[in-house]
Structure formats: C-alpha cells, structure tokens
A and B are shown apart, each in its own frame.
Chain A
Amino acid sequence: MSGAYLPLLLLFAVSVVTAVGMLVLTQIFNPRRPTPQKEMPYESGMIPLGDTRARFSVKFYMVAISFIVFDLETIFLIPWAVQARALGWGPFLAMTMFVVVLAVGLLYEWKKGGLEWD
C-alpha cells in the first residue's frame, strides 16, 4: 500500500528541483544594477508614506476563525459521506443534528455582524 506513495515522492522532488532551479538560473543570468529609486517600494510613484507593516482589519481574524470551524466540519463530514449509504438512517440523523448546530452557529455569527465587511 505504501508503495503507492512512491511516485508522489518523485513528483515532489521534480517540482522542488524545478522551483529552486528557476531561482538559481535567474540568479546566474540576470543583471543586477540596483539604485535607491529601483529599490523603493512602488506606491504609485510617490515616496512611500509611513510603515507598511501597520495594523490591518480584525475582520481577517474573524474569517480565519470561522474557516477553522467550518473547514473542520467539512473534514468531519467526509468520513461519514463515503459510507453514508451503507450506514443508513441513524448516522444520517446524527450528522443532521451536527450540521444544524453549526448552521445555528453560522446564523448567530451572521446576526452579530461577523460576516459584514463595511
């Protein structure tokens, strides 16, 4: 069974070699004549204002937390889904309850404004 993974390992090796090879080749061939103007971050041609690594909106953290909850839900659904027809009604009802609980959670987040972006 583990032999099935050997070609994957080969493919990983080929893709790593390709990605690193591209960077190495361009490092060898490309010219380097840096000037302070060239190295300035592009901000529509103006001299950059303030610090780049400033704070960003808390909304991104909200999305990250919601993602963890609902992606885990998907992962929980998959083992049941592949056997859903063999398992029958009992597990179906259990999964329905599980989905309803999470749907209520989504509804709560929605009503609290956790999904709004303005």
Chain B
Amino acid sequence: MDALQPVSGIAGFIASVAKVVLVFAGVMLTVAYMTLAERRVSAWIQDRIGPNRVGPFGLLQPIADGLKNLLKEETLPAKSSKLFFLMGPMIALMPALVTFAVIPFAAPLPTHWGVVDMVVADVPIGILYILAITSLGVYGLVLGGWASNNKYALLGGMRASAQMVSYEVALGLSVVAVLILAGNVTLTQVVWQQQQLHFWFAFPLSLAFILFLASAYAETNRLPFDMPEAESELVAGYHTEYSGMKYAMFPMAEYANMVTSSALMATLFLGGWDLPGSWDNMFWYHGQLISGFAANGSVILAHPALWKTLLTFVAFAIKTAFFLVVYIWVRWTLPRFRYDQVMALGWKVLLPTGLGYVMLIAGATLVLDQLGLPWGFTYGLILTVLSGLATAGFLVFLDRGHTIFGAAAARDQKTIVRHRAGVPAQAGD
C-alpha cells in the first residue's frame, strides 16, 4: 500500500477555503443557537417555558432576534467618542470569531486528492495563537465601556480589563502543565499524546483542568465571574449604552468565546476528537500518517476513512456541547462573586496553585522518565493518582470552614452552645 499524502496544490487551497467557510458558519450557527439554548435551559431550570413561539420549538427565534436587532434604532450617548464607540463591538467580535482556527475537530479525511486535516490551520504556534488572539478581546470591552461616557460602562470596562488579565495568568499556567505532557504547542500533537497515553489529560492533569475551567469562565465573563456586566451593581456594565446591532455584537463575542473555550477544553483535557480505543488514532509523523508504534519502534500506518472522520467529529461535537451546557447550567445555579473575591481567587489561590502544580508535574514526569517507564497506561495512571491527591488537597484547602468541614464544625459542642445562646434552635441544628 502506498503512503498517504497530505492534500496539496489547488486541491489543498480549495480544501482550505471549504474548511474556513464551514468552521466560520459552524461557529456562527452555534453562537445563534446558544442564545436560544441559554433561554430555553434557563426557563427549564426556573420552571418556565421560554421562547417557543417562533417556528417549531422556537427554533427560528435567533433569526427573529437578529432581524430585530438589525432594524432597531441605535442611540449614541452625548459626548461619547464616536470612533471608539463604533470600534468597541468590532474589536470584541473579530478575535472571538478567528480563535477556533487551530483546533482540530475530527480525524483526517481521505479524499481522491490526498488526506485533508480536519483543522483550519495547523500552524506551528498552535495554542500560543489562541492565547494571543483571545487577549485582544478585552480591548473591545474597555474601549466600548470608556467611549460610552457612562459611569457604569466605565466601571464595567475597568473591571473587565483587570479581571481578564488576572485570570489569563492562571489560564496560561494550566496550559503550561498540558504542554509538559504534550511536548509541543500544536493541538494536533496534544490530541495525539492523549491517544498514546491512553488517558485524556483531564485525569493525569486534573488540577490543571480545574484551574483552566475556572479561568475560562472568568475570561469569558460568565457567571460566577460576570463582574464586568453585573446587572445588580452596574446596570449592564460595559454595554449599558449600546443598543441594536452594536449591542448584539457583544453577546455574540461572548458566546463565540464560550464555543472556542469549550472546544479548547475538550481538546486539551478530553482528548479532542479522540474516541476510546486505538482504531481512530492518526498523526503525521515524518510525512507518514501513523496510528501508533509497534513494540520494536517501527511505525504502524493509519487507515483514514470517511466514517472515522464523521464519528470523531460527532465525538468532538458532543464533548464541546457538554462544556457549553455546563456553562449555562453554572450560570443559572451559582450566585455571583463580589469583585474583591474574584480578584483574591485569581491572585491568591489560582496563581500560586498553578505555579506549584506546573513544577510538580514537571518533577513527576522527570522522575518517571528517569525510572525508564514508557509513555503509556502505567505512566498515565501514576500521574492520575498524583494529580488526584493534589486536586483533593486543593479542594479541601478551598473548602476549609465551608461545605464539608463547615457541616462537621456545626456538630462541634462549642458551636452548638454558642448557637443556642445566640439564636433560637432550628430543625437540624
């Protein structure tokens, strides 16, 4: 059997254009239907019905909303900076739409003209591209908030800037932990190493997963970290003065960032498009598409197929959808932090934890390599146990005096006596 070659030339260019169009349309469509999903799920959680009148099950609601936003009058606050007021939503939206480009979303697809990688651009800078581009989004929020000539908007913009830069540090550190195991910054290799380890990184890197999850919520300004638009304090935060389509661009950017970060969490920690078993493992290794290494070190060639691509794409979509649903679920379950709590969590908890954890993982991999353990199941299992212990310690530390140990403290005799002296006894006291 002759070696499979990556698609190139004119066919490669056409494939690139097709992938750009498909990914862009996919992200936009997911964003549109996330707005509907959020309203339906929130209604479900609050025992309401939610929008179900436009089309079957309300499925045409996003289109109606878009048209309405397009046709509504927009106000421009007096004494605002018109140019920056216009640029705010644009700068927020544009980076949000392009970050998805380096995330692989399915196994490579074989065609008549060569094998097509299911990623828009497998650039060598990989995840650095995502870190760089997502940081740009904050300029839109700050510019929009500052240009509005509104005190609430200004405060929202300031909060957005401080919060997003604070959690970017913790986000970066959790990514560093992943990179130690992956050995490269490209996301295709991150997926490949998870396939080779027989473990999705959520297990051997459980603490990094928790840090990344918390930081991603803060970076996308979602509850419990939605301080920039805390409606009980700042009316609507940085987009108070925006209306019509310019307003709609801010939520669109937020939802696009949610889609990208969910896909990124799925890729970094849940194996991306990987499914259990080695039948779908595929990676470009020195110009050959391989599925693994034999015991004597020689490569095993992969057999890409259309059904494998489709099945892995479904796996990727399900993992991403899972994180998107968790986003909505958390929003309608948890209350909002106070601003000083948000900043304290970022700087005093997540940053030191991230630093310590990176060194722990680096030390552990070096010890395991020194022992001559091969990269495989046992390796992953040891890291899983180690990270599990670190995660348990971290959670106990965070919980001190609260949920688990708070309940134990209430049974303490002194506490009961103090309670009874101060307040009337209640059921379950």
Q: Which residues of A contact B (CB under 8 A)?
A: 1, 4-8, 10-12, 14-16, 18-20, 22-23, 25-26, 29-34, 36, 38-44, 48, 52-53, 56, 59-60, 63-64, 66-67, 70-71, 74-75, 77-78, 81-86, 88-89, 92, 95-96, 99, 102-103, 106, 110, 115-118
Verify B97–A15 contact, CB threshold 8 A: yes
- Shortest distance in angstroms between B168's beta carbon and chain A's nearest beta carbon? 6
Q: Does B70 lie within 8 Å of A25, measured CB to CB?
A: yes
Chain B 105-126 interface mask (CB, 8 Å, partner A; 1/0): 0000000000000001111100
Contact in complex: A81, B358 (CB < 8 Å): yes
Residue of B with least CB distance to A117: B340
B98 touching A70, Cβ below 8 Å: no
- Decide if B258 is an interface residue (CB 8 Å cutoff): no
* Distance between Cα atoms of A32 and B339 in the complex (Å): 38
**How far does the alpha carbon of A33 sit from the alpha carbon of B235 in the complex, in Å?**
24
What are 15 A-B residue pairs whose CB atoms fall within 8 Å in the complex? A6-B121, A10-B20, A11-B120, A25-B70, A26-B69, A26-B244, A31-B73, A33-B73, A39-B75, A41-B241, A42-B240, A52-B149, A70-B351, A75-B172, A110-B348
Does B151 sit at the interface, judged by CB under 8 A? Answer: yes
Separation of A25 and B72 alpha carbons in the complex (Å): 11
Which B residues are within 8 Å of any A CB, using their own CB?
13, 16-17, 19-21, 23-24, 28, 69-78, 80, 86, 89-90, 93-94, 97-98, 101, 120-124, 128-129, 146, 148-152, 154-155, 158, 161-162, 165-166, 168-169, 172-173, 175-177, 179-180, 182-185, 235, 240-241, 244-246, 249, 339-340, 343-344, 347-348, 351-352, 355, 358-359, 362-363, 365-366, 369
Question: How far apart sit A25 and B122, CA to CA, in the bound complex (Å)?
Answer: 34
B252–chain A nearest beta-carbon distance, Å: 9
Instruction: Report yes or no: B355 in contact with A102, Cβ–Cβ below 8 A.
Output: yes
CB distance from B379 to the nearest CB of A (A): 11
State the Cβ distance, A86 to closest chain B Cβ, in Å.
8
In the complex, which residue of chain A has the Cβ closest to the Cβ of B189?
A: A82
Q: How far is the CA of A56 from the CA of B156 in the complex (A)?
A: 12
**Smallest CB separation, A70 vs chain B (Å):** 5
Among B28, B152, B182, B358, which residue has its beta carbon within 8 angstroms of that of A42? Answer: B152
| Given A10-B20, A40-B77, A71-B165, 18 more pairs with CB closer than 8 A | A5-B121, A5-B123, A7-B121, A8-B98, A15-B97, A19-B97, A23-B245, A25-B70, A30-B71, A36-B78, A42-B240, A56-B154, A56-B158, A71-B169, A74-B169, A77-B173, A81-B180, A95-B362
